[in-house]
Structure 1
Amino acid sequence: MKLTILGCYAATPRSITNPTSQVLEINGHMFLIDCGEGTQVQLRKKKIKFAKINHIFISHLHGDHFYGLIGLISTFMLLNRQHDLHVYGPKGIKEVILLQLRLSKSYTGYALYFHELESTESEVVFEDERVVVRTIPLEHRVYTNGYLFNEKPGARKLNIGLIEDLGIDRCYYQKLKNGGDVILDDGTVVRNETVTYNPEPIKSYAFCSDTVYNESVIPIIKDVSVLYHESTFLDSESHLTERTKHSTAKEAALIASKANVGKLILGHYSTRYDNIDNFRKEASTIFHTIELAEDGKEFDL
């Protein structure tokens, strides 16, 4: 699991910072999460192949989280994309994108699918044999969801040396990988756990931006491997959180602590601050395993 931060600042793009966008590579998938202005430029800088992005998840319809989407969709067209693109986001995202395509007489040569979300309850929005993605309902000024990405358990690993010593035929290898037992020709039952190892622990990633402090997310993200949580403000501006529906670094850390997450990544900083190290300092008084998101930073998770 690898996370690449394309942008992690709030509100407006600047020459030195970019609004929210990130790429999550997990179990063979490359998911784009939010698409603020400049996303495709950042993708090029990080040498991420556009063609590998087939699923885009938009948290909400504030400009710093989706104004880069129409440009990216148009670039896909200019690059002669042929395969399907799926966009997940709040109801209205289809209308706003198709209106721009229609008025500019720009039509995609590939199938463009919109999965519009309205539920205020957590729901599965994508699933295949490797990964499941569900929403994390957040509390912001407009309808907003975070997203939880969970790997599915992998196959068990074979103890080849022991398997060969027991004379187990190769035709049973897949059964063993799937957790099954094997009966030898003499009737001996070989228990799965004696000839296989546990699969790699499954990993999970939760993306929470933008939201006021909201404990209702805790059961959804409980024990997640990595949590990205917005931390727009420092404590000195905590009086702004209720009006803007954003969180402080300390509040993000409190959510991480109560949810028992493995690691917390802070981001979505207000551009009023010159030194983002202060976000870590304030959050570390509550939670200790903390990373700071920065534009272009990669996390090998």
Structure 2
Amino acid sequence: MTKFSILILGSASAAPTLARNPSAQLININEQYYLIDCGEGTQNRLRQHKIKFQRLNHIFISHLHGDHYLGLLGLLQTMSLLGRTLPLNLYGPKQLKELVDMNLAYSHSTLKYPLIFHETQTNQSEVLFENEHLTISTIILDHRVPCTGFLFKEKPKPRKINPKAIKRYEIPKYAMDNLKRGLDFSFPDKNEVIKNELLTLNPDESYSYAYCSDTKFNERIVPQLKDIDILYHEATFLHRDEKRAEATYHSTAKQAATIAKQANAKLLIIGHFSNRYKDLNVLLDEAKTIFANTQLAQDDAVFEMV
């Protein structure tokens, strides 16, 4: 069964609080870790959850507002101090590389491992990472500075072999790969075809997750999010503060819920809360009036695909 979880490392907006760090999330897909954004304090949150830095090979930065990347420079140097030698892939706006290089130069520091930088495009969606199981693409958001969200989509999984049926029909081992791909089986010396559904079971479900960080209300992203399993969408403000949201290129809880409803999401997580709201339940309640299956992105919360 697939392991696909989202760990909230930070859910605050511009400034950290005693209870909430700035933006950061750790995605775990079959024990492969992907860090999205890295606000200050992120490496301490990773330590608290006993995440080994050596297992972190991909870091995605949505944009260059400090609450989304100021924890990165320290994390990179800590990895070096701990003796990392494996390459680390860093994805973000082109100026991010300049910031990292400048920090290393001014502090007379070097990294003991290769840092591979992947520049994100801000005018069109692109695939940033792909392997046999997963694709990670950008989502073009609408913020005061170039900003991208990230879409994680598992590829269709192979069908599962039905051992009892394989034994009953005496299917040879060499046919297993084709059966997993959904092909029927034909005996070479017989005029007989056995349908795939008689020999296999349905595959495990493939999951999807979208991270939409800082953005004003933007319905253009809905087609890319269609039928998403879990959608994280920023909800910095209540809708009574819509003018403030518009001026700062942020969203309200009601607007985040509207995107989730239009996208037919299964679950909406809202976060990036303004510190002006002491009771976050008012944001949750507002979102639920539009999209009932909404939850808050509280620090240290874990959301599992089921």
Q: Normalized against structure 2, the TM-score is what?
A: 0.96
1:19: how far off? 0.2
Which of 193, 201, 205 does residue 205 from structure 2 map onto? Answer: 201
- In the alignment, the residues of structure 2 paired with residue 191 and residue 173 of structure 1 have an alpha-carbon distance, to the nearest angstrom, of 13
Kept in 2: contact 1:212–1:246 (CA 8 A): yes
The answer to whether 1:290 aligns with 2:294 is yes
Q: After superposing the two structures, state which structure 1 stretch, 230-239 or 256-265, moved more.
A: 230-239
Match of 2:162 in 1: 159
Query: What is the CA-CA distance between 1:203 and the residue it aligns to?
Result: 0.3
Letter in 1 for 2:117: F
Structure 1 distance, partners of 2:139, 2:183, is 35
- Give the letter for the 2:175 counterpart: Y
Question: Given the alignment of the two structures, is residue 210 of structure 1 paired with residue 214 of structure 2, yes or no?
Answer: yes
Residue type of the alignment partner of 2:138: T
Partner of 1:137: 140
Instruction: Report SS of the residue matched to 1:155.
Output: coil
How many angstroms apart in 2 are the aligned matches of 1:231 and 1:243? Answer: 14
The letter for the 1-side match of 2:296 is: L
Give how far 1:29 is off. Answer: 2.2
Contact kept, 8 Å, 1:229 with 1:252, in 2: the verdict is yes
Which residue does the alignment assign to 2:192? 188
- One-letter identity of the residue aligned with 1:145: T
- Residue 227 of structure 2 aligns with which residue? 223
Deviation, 1:236, is 2.4
Q: 2:182 aligns with which of 179, 184, 193?
A: 179
Question: What value does the CA root-mean-square deviation take over the aligned residues?
Answer: 1.0
Secondary structure in 2 matching 1:35: coil
What is the TM-score normalised by the length of structure 1? 0.98
Contact 1:27–1:131 (8 Å) recurs in 2: no
How far off its partner does 1:14 sit?
2.3
In 2, are the aligned partners of 1:5 and 1:293 still within 8 Å (CA)? yes
Task: Give the partner amino acid of 1:245.
Answer: Y
Partner of 1:281: 285
Distance 1:206 1:119 in 2: 17
1:15 aligns with 2:18: yes
Amino acid at match of 1:127: E
Deviation for aligned residue 1:28: 4.2
The equivalent of 1:82 in structure 2 is 85
Any stretches of 5+ residues in structure 1 without a counterpart? none
2:147 is the alignment partner of 1:123: no
Q: Residue 147 of structure 1: SS of its match in structure 2?
A: strand
Gapped regions of structure 2 (runs ≥ 5): none
